[in-house]
Amino acid sequence: MSSTRSDFSTAMVASMLLHGGVLVAALISWPWEKPLTPGTTVPVNIISNATYTDLRAAALAKEVQSAMTEAPVPDALPEPAAPTPEPTPPTPQPAAAAPKPVVDPNAKGQQKPTPKPQKALDLDALSASIAKTRPAGGKTSSAAQGAARPETAREARPSAGAGRGVSASALEGLVSQLQRRWNPNCEVEGGRDVRVRVTFTLNTAGQVVGLVEAGGQENSSNPVIRAAAERAIRAVRQAAAEKSLPREVYGQAWAPTFNAQEACR
């Protein structure tokens, strides 16, 4: 019996270690350096800036220039502090196309969207889609929505069973640190309308465990939303990397909502 118990215990420990190890490995981002290879090359033709320098001769050849309306001063010098463009000698250049970017297969999310094949309009599917995505009462943001937010700057809304025990000052410290590092995209059209809910977990040492995600907004096909999500994620990562967050918020899972509409006022 005792030998049987020993075998049983070994199997259980080995199994736990094995499965635990696999899970931990999946959550760790390994710092190994990956060799990066440039993308393939697509030769393109070139347009030359010099095509614009062959214009005076053509202009003069076309017509005889007449007198100015106001007495012109030949060879008027440009103002000393304000150099004017110098006509360059005519250098005829063949016209050609401009350089074009070549997509690097290593690059993430850089490829231009390829035009999708046009489908026949499915009115049923369309109306079903509208019914599903547009609740009565008006427009909704594609951003993840939190609970109702007061007019005041910040409020913590701990969900069931977690976050209890985090003091108000710690929450305020967390929000303050995120605010300091969040650079919202206020100057860009649409950038001030984006709400980004970021989720991340801090371990007991204050390090980010696993992914910092923005509910898929970081992969949005809308480049303004994607850029806004990346900026919010960057704020979280920077605050964590600088160990600037209050210790009390360590070991918790967080979901800050970055509200550009408020921040860009």
Partner 1 sequence: MSDPKEIRLMSLKSIILALASLVLATFVLIAPARAQIEVDVNKGDVQPLPIAVPAFGGARGADIAQVITANLERSGLFAPINPQAFIERQVDVTVQPRFPDWKVLNAQALVNGQVTVEGGRLRVDFRLWDIYSEQQLLGLQFISTPENWRRVAHKISDAVYERLTGEKGYFDTRIVFVSETGGRLNRIKTLAIMDQDGANPSYLTDGSYIVMSPRFSATSQEITYMTLRPEGSAIYLFNLETARRESIGQFPGMVYAPRFSPDGGRVAFSVERGGNSDIYVMNLKSRTSARLTSDPGIDTSASFSPDGTKIAFNSDRGGSPQLYIMNSDGTGVRRVSFGAGRYTTPVWSPVGDFIAFTKQTGGEFHIGVMRPDGTDERLLTTSYLDESPTWAPNGRVLMFSREVSGGPPRLWTVDVTGRILRPAPYPGSGSDPAWSPLLN
Please report, as residue ranges, which positions from 24 to 63 form the binding site for partner 1 (by CB under 8 A): 27, 33-39, 41-44, 46-56, 58-60, 62
- Alpha carbons 143 and 217: distance in angstroms, whole number: 7
Residues 6+ apart with CB under 8 A from 23: none
How many chain residues touch partner 1 (CB under 8 A)?
137
With CB under 8 A as the contact rule, the residue among 174, 214, 217, 245 that binds partner 1 is 174
Residue 195: φ, ψ to 5°: -110, 130
Q: Which residues 130-169 are close enough to bind partner 1 by CB under 8 A?
A: 146-147, 149, 153-163, 166
What is the C-alpha separation between 245 and 239, in angstroms, rounded? 6
Task: Kindly tell me which residue out of 72, 113, 117, 138 binds partner 1, with binding defined by CB under 8 A.
Answer: 72
Strand partners, 164: none
- Give the nearer residue to partner 1 in terms of CB position, either 126 or 153: 153
Angle (CA) 99 100 103, round 5°: 145
Residue 185 contacts partner 1 per CB under 8 A: yes
Residue 2 in the binding site for partner 1 (CB under 8 A): no
Tokens representing 136 are 């009565």
Question: Is the four-CA dihedral 136, 140, 145, 150 of positive or negative sign?
Answer: negative
Rounded Cα–Cα distance for residues 217 and 182 (Å): 16
CB of 216 to partner 1, least distance (A): 16
Q: Of 25, 179, 205, 244, which one interacts with partner 1 (CB under 8 A)?
A: 179
Residues between 197 and 256 that touch partner 1 (CB under 8 A): 199, 201, 210, 212, 222-228, 230, 232-235, 237-238, 241, 251-256
124 binds partner 1 (CB under 8 A): no
Instruction: Tell me how far, at minimum, the Cβ of 136 lies from partner 1, in Å.
Output: 25
Contact 184, 231 (CB under 8 A): yes
Q: Minimal distance in Å, beta carbon 46 to partner 1?
A: 5
